[in-house]
Amino acid sequence: MSATVFTIANQKGGVGKTTTAINLSYALADQGVRTVLVDLDPQANATSGLGLEKLEGGSLYGPLCGEGNALERVQPVGANDCLFMIPSEVDMAAIEIELYQRDDYLVQLREVLRPLRESNDYDAIVLDCPPALGMLSMNSLAAADYLIIALQCEYLAMEGLGQILKVVDKLRDAGVNDGLQLGGILMTMFDQRTNLGQQVVGEVRNHFDELVFRSMIPRSVRLSEAPSFGQSIFEYEPNSAGAHAYRYFAEEVIERFKLGKK
């Protein structure tokens, strides 16, 4: 069976999107789910956040331009034999322009990822997108089975939620990706000491009900520090609240999408 593709997206920066991509991928792999994290952001924060080098020619830039394939770009990460990554590099900044010049520009990433997802070597592919609804993010939505939205627990973050959901509807209606589903909403940077955080969570749960994951990621200094050491939260501070939250989130994802049970 082919791997399940998740895109973790939000056009607003600073909401814990890359932190979620890193730690979800690590936690899934830790539970035996063969996972590939694909860094599509030219800033390459997910790449450095897992301790990999930003090497020229290591990203999906070549395959997206018709040179080489995605399978050649996969690298193992650390000692976990279930965790892999396709890193990013500065060249990915140019791919936005390149894609506009291609026929069927919205589905180029889907075609590039096809050998990866059909190889039977992996159970899950996690796409980390740039913090904008540009060409790479649109391609990731066209390539994904499920969208997971990382939503910061504040009212301004909620304004962008409707926008990305409209984009999903348009891609489905246009036949670009009829199978794309909202896999769920993950509440991030939650501070249980504030009324605001509680109110935002309440409103989102009231509107989206079971689509909101039970897990909530706390606002945490440890989660912010870990990437600067090239580590997931599980390596940096395995007994922290952030580690417990992402571990629980990974269990939810495995259960909800039947990962590793195909």
pTM: predicted TM-score of the whole model, two decimal places = 0.94
Q: Residue 149 has what DSSP assignment?
A: E
∠ CA 156-191-248, nearest 5°, is 105
User: Which pLDDT tens digit goes with each residue over 224-256?
Assistant: 999 999 999 999 999 999 999 999 999 999 999
3-class secondary-structure state, position 84: strand
d(CA 205, CA 201): 6
Whether 158 has a pLDDT exceeding 80, the answer reads: no
Q: What is the pLDDT of residue 248?
A: 97
Indicate the domain borders of the chain.
4-257
Question: What type of residue sits at position 162?
Answer: G
Contacts of 209 (CB under 8 A, 6+ apart): none
How confident is the model over 196-228, as pLDDT tens digits?
778 888 888 888 989 999 999 999 899 999 999
Name the band, by pLDDT with cuts 50, 70 and 90, for residue 117. Answer: very high
What is the pLDDT confidence band of residue 40, given thresholds at 50, 70 and 90?
Answer: very high
Is 141 within 8 Å of 168 (Cβ atoms)? yes
Q: Which two tokens stand for residue 16?
A: 């814990």
Write out the CATH class of domain 4-257. alpha beta
- Radius of gyration (C-alpha) of the chain in whole angstroms: 17
Mark out the alpha helices in the chain (DSSP H runs): 17-30, 45-49, 61-64, 95-100, 108-117, 135-143, 155-173, 195-208, 221-225, 233-236, 241-257
pLDDT at residue 13 in the model: 55
Q: What is the pLDDT of residues 55-90, one digit of tens each?
A: 888 899 999 988 989 999 999 998 789 999 999 988
Q: Tokens 């939503």 correspond to what residue?
A: 151
∠ CA 183-163-199 to the nearest 5 degrees?
A: 75
